[in-house]
Amino acid sequence: MKNLSRVIALVLFLIFLAFLAQAVNSLDIVINEIAWMGTEISYNDEWIELYNNSGSPINLEGWILKTADGTPKINLTGTVVAKSFYLLERTDDNTVLDIPADQIYTGALGNTGEKLELYDDSGNLIDSVDCSGGWFAGDNKTKQTMERKNPQLSGSDSSNWQTSQNPGGTPKAENSPGAKLKEGAEAKLLEEFTKAETKKGLATVSAQLPESSKSLFILLIALPIAIFSGIIILTLKRKIKDIDLSKKLE
């Protein structure tokens, strides 16, 4: 009887260890890249890439990837190797040329945004990307995909997504460094930021001044502006006179 009890205890312990090995935590599998805009060949060629964050292979049997409106709803199959990618292609295996799909699905993503949710075989929410108010990144004209910056961080944080540097994205490969700003856009952003910060700083200083000092503060700010404006006006008047004089001499 003692030996039988030991055998039963050992079997139960091994089952418990197997259960722990199969247990999946939040963000073990994440939605890593979304080609919601399709490809340069066709807007219908949408695809979604998953990534296994964990150090073990994960069986996707019974898992579901779906949108809040139910289209698409994908019953996942197969296994994702540790630290590797899993490619879902819409309709057929010609969506991404030269890269075989791990699974084919049907159903289009909306161009105005979707909320994507990934559930394991026990119904636990493993990852979520809430773009119901509009896609966080990606370009419908250039077909640059929406890439996750850090697979360890939340998928519903807009700052954790970027537009791919490459048209067509990076299917089944490490995500790009991100798209560069168009020429002049970076300077424009810096200029807007500087203006906003200057305005904020002036408002803060003004608010901290006593009422008796506010008029003096406004005068000190307004006086240089008035002088500078006057100089510009005088310069323009002189240039106009010079132009008129040269015309008369002609």
CA 187 to each of CA 163, 194, 199, 200, 220: distance values in angstroms, whole numbers, following the listed order = 19, 10, 18, 20, 29
Q: What is the pLDDT of residue 9?
A: 47
pLDDT band at 158 (very low <50, low <70, confident <90, very high): very high
Q: How far is CA 34 from the centre of its chain?
A: 10
Q: What is the pLDDT of residue 188?
A: 54
What value, to the nearest 5°, has the Cα angle with vertex 75 and ends 149 and 27? 30
Q: What is the pLDDT of residue 219?
A: 57
8 Å CB contact between 88 and 65: yes
Give 214-237 pLDDT, tens digit per residue: 555 555 666 677 687 668 777 766
8 Å CB contact between 148 and 53: no
CA 62 to each of CA 55, 74, 78, 124: distance values in angstroms, whole numbers, following the listed order = 21, 10, 10, 11
Task: Give 169: exposed, middle or buried? Use CB within 10 Å, 0-12, 13-18, 19+.
Answer: buried
Q: What is the pLDDT of residue 231?
A: 81
8 Å CB contact between 27 and 58: no
% of the chain at pLDDT higher than 70: 66
213, pLDDT greater than 80 = no
b/e sequence 15-33, b meaning 16+ C-beta within 10 Å: eeeeeeeeebeebbbbbbb
Give 29-75 pLDDT, tens digit per residue: 999 999 999 999 999 999 999 999 999 999 999 999 999 999 999 99
- Which range (16-20, 60-64, 108-112, 236-240) has the least confidence? 16-20
Give 175-199 pLDDT, tens digit per residue: 999 886 554 555 555 555 556 655 6
Question: Which residues make beta-bridge pairs with 103?
Answer: 88
User: Cα–Cα distance between 57 and 60 in angstroms, integer?
Assistant: 10
Average pLDDT on 151-159 reads 96
Q: What is the pLDDT of residue 13?
A: 41
